[in-house]
Amino acid sequence: MGAFIAEHDLTPDLVVCSPAVRARETLDLVVGEFERPPEIQFIDDLYLAAPADIIGLLRGLAGSANRVMMVGHNPGIQALARILCQGGKEDSLAALAGKFPTAALAVIDFEAPWGEIGPGLGRLALFATPRALASTARP
């Protein structure tokens, strides 16, 4: 997933990550593929956080960052992505609703500034899973 992010110019300016061991391990693998390291903040409150709490966290932390990557836990991260997305490709929205596996990537675009993001204000630009990327990489 880290290589995919780097190859598609999706490298974040800021990463907000749960301090849990598995989240840190996932982050290390992903960030290791980036040409330039982003700012990383480990936030205790991200562990098993509800979507509303994560939205509040993003509103307060993102500041001037253009792209923010969240590394957290389900069911909160999947629920957050579903709540934020009002639009996007139907097949991507359906895949997101079905399952958000470990290391999946949901790219959500907002017209509003970070301080004003909220339910239904995002558009799902991309949803990628490690399994889907592996199946398209095969010759």
| Domains of the chain: residue spans and CATH | 2-137 (3.40.50.1240)
DSSP assignment letter at 36: S
**Scanning the structure block, which residue is given the tokens 């693998």?**
29
Instruction: Look at residues 32, 47, 43 and name the one whose alpha carbon lies nearest to residue 1.
Output: 32
The number of CA neighbours under 13 Å toward the Cβ of 64 is 0
Q: Compute the distance between CA of residue 73 and CA of residue 16 in angstroms, rounded to an integer.
A: 12
Q: Please state, in angstroms and rounded to a whole number, the distance separating the CA atoms of residues 100 and 111.
A: 24
pLDDT tens for each residue of 93-124: 999 999 999 899 999 999 988 999 999 999 99
- Ranges under pLDDT 50 in the chain: none
Helix, strand, coil percentages, rounded to 5, for the chain: 45, 20, 35
What is residue 62's predicted lDDT score, i.e. its pLDDT?
64
**Structural element, H or E, at residue 125:** strand 122-128
Instruction: Give the pLDDT score at 137.
Output: 62
